[in-house]
Structure 1
């Protein structure tokens, strides 16, 4: 089942001098089991859009439907329990939410709150710890003894223990070094492929969009600017430049090659695609 926004608008502090139209007339669909990246400048409405997905915010007008459940201006908080189990949120620095004595207790906290027995909750916790590549020898340690990257994995395992079908990632690699960032993004890729989750990623990193997403939503000043597959979104550098959006590094390099007379026909998004195109050109030259 998909996620559908229908003419959704949201205004902060309505009727006050500080009134701000954060989202305006958003209509779009996110397909089930897609990997969607949402991009746009700070203030474009990305985080506001995310917070509608599990009812943290409710529309000022319009509606959205998440896997069959509708949220509109009249939706009550008590109607959102099932939805909030359906949608798991990984905010920036999720490790700040850790609080239990041990890793295992922290991950099992959510399932116990959902009515699972102690035994069931701990078994789910062990499964999710394994899923995020936490070694067995850290499970009985305090999460605060772990590295920053491991702490983040504990927090993500705790979200996965709630068994959501949709995983929302709001700049999930913030503060990580390059190696840690790649490991984290590869972990989300594995979750997407093996657990069949729908992934929604907010990021400023165009390399991550190119390498992982199959659907891209572009927001600007609270409005939907464009939606499409990454090859469509990154095919027009002039349009991106006009809207102050960057290119993936590989695509930017390929553009410079084209400017120097190397005809690649279309701009590749990833290193692998660029290597294939250059290899094909070299083979033609040899012949």
Structure 2
């Protein structure tokens, strides 16, 4: 399910003293089956962009095409129901949206709301709970008795229960401890690889971009200023500093090593694994050059 933005503008509170243009002439594509990271400084328009993906927001002008569905300023909300089955959005702190008395009922809510029978909805709920690593014995528990990480998995399972083809993640690890953050990100990677989900990740964590994404879109003041593979986005530290972006930790470490004059990297490593391999190769060659 490919996604295309064509000359999309979005204005909050138009024709008022509070008018603000959040997106400006955005033309960009998100490839089907990709793991795309959307990055940019706070206020760059990231969250506004992602809310266009299932019609929570509609362009002030321009058009968004998701598969064969075209969204414009004149699109009616009643025309977007089917689209919202195919594009699931995990907002920050999704556990805040839990409300049912048991984990099973909470996960089953969406499929039941979209026309499944109670039995069908519960079957899907059990399947999705297993998919996100929730043991069966938790299904009868109140979601509010669970740990923060488990509650987040319940909320994510509820979104997956709609069987989306596109999963949009808005800072999905916010508030989690380091262990919980790694577990959640690894879970999304497995969903991407094993179930061919298109993943769209909004994040400030550059290590997550380096470790998981294969495509990156950079926003600044509502405009797309770059769209490329992470290795191309992170190849110029001066450009990143200019646009208030950070390097992944492994890449930053490699640049610092290179400044010493003892190492030379033809291809800058993005991840810890790539850095370790590059350093091992360098030591094998006597530290003269690393490829």
User: Which bin holds the TM-score, normalised by the shorter protein?
Assistant: over 0.9
SS at the partner of 1:70?
A: strand
1:77 — aligned with what? Answer: 77
User: Any stretches of 5+ residues in structure 2 without a counterpart?
Assistant: none
2:218 — aligned with what? Answer: 218
In structure 1, what is the Cα distance between the partners aligned to 2:278 and 2:92? Answer: 37
2:281 — aligned with what? Answer: 280
1:119 shift after superposition: 1.1
1:266 shift after superposition: 2.2
1:286 shift after superposition: 8.7
User: How many correspondences in the alignment?
Assistant: 287
1:24 — aligned with what? Answer: 24
In structure 2, what is the Cα distance between the partners aligned to 1:95 and 1:177? Answer: 15
Q: Where do 1:98-113 residues align within 5 Å?
A: 98-113=98-113
1:8 — aligned with what? Answer: 8
2:255 — aligned with what? Answer: 255
1:156 — aligned with what? Answer: 156
SS at the partner of 1:219?
A: strand
1:131 — aligned with what? Answer: 131
Q: Where do 1:141-180 residues align within 5 Å?
A: 141-180=141-180
Q: Is the 8 A contact 2:41 2:243 kept in 1?
A: no
Deviations 1:32-51 (A, max 9, x none): 01000000011100000011
Deviations 1:120-152 (A, max 9, x none): 111100000000000111011111110010000
Q: Is the 8 A contact 2:85 2:163 kept in 1?
A: yes
SS at the partner of 1:227?
A: strand
1:17 shift after superposition: 1.4
2:236 — aligned with what? Answer: 236
1:267 shift after superposition: 1.3
1:93 shift after superposition: 0.5
2:271 — aligned with what? Answer: 270
TM-score (structure 2 length as normaliser): 0.97
2:122 — aligned with what? Answer: 122
SS at the partner of 1:285?
A: coil
1:24 shift after superposition: 0.3
SS at the partner of 2:285?
A: helix
TM-score (structure 1 length as normaliser): 0.98
In structure 2, what is the Cα distance between the partners aligned to 1:245 and 1:60? Answer: 28
In structure 1, what is the Cα distance between the partners aligned to 2:121 and 2:56? Answer: 26
2:207 — aligned with what? Answer: 207
Are the structure 2 counterparts of residues 159 and 274 from structure 1 closer, same or farther at C-alpha, using a change threshold of 3 Å? Answer: same
SS at the partner of 1:154?
A: helix
SS at the partner of 2:235?
A: coil
Deviations 1:211-265 (A, max 9, x none): 0000000000000010000000000001111111100000000000000111122
1:68 shift after superposition: 1.0
In structure 1, what is the Cα distance between the partners aligned to 2:162 and 2:70? Answer: 21
Any runs of at least 4 consecutive aligned residues in structure 1 with deviations exceeding 4 A, and if so which? none
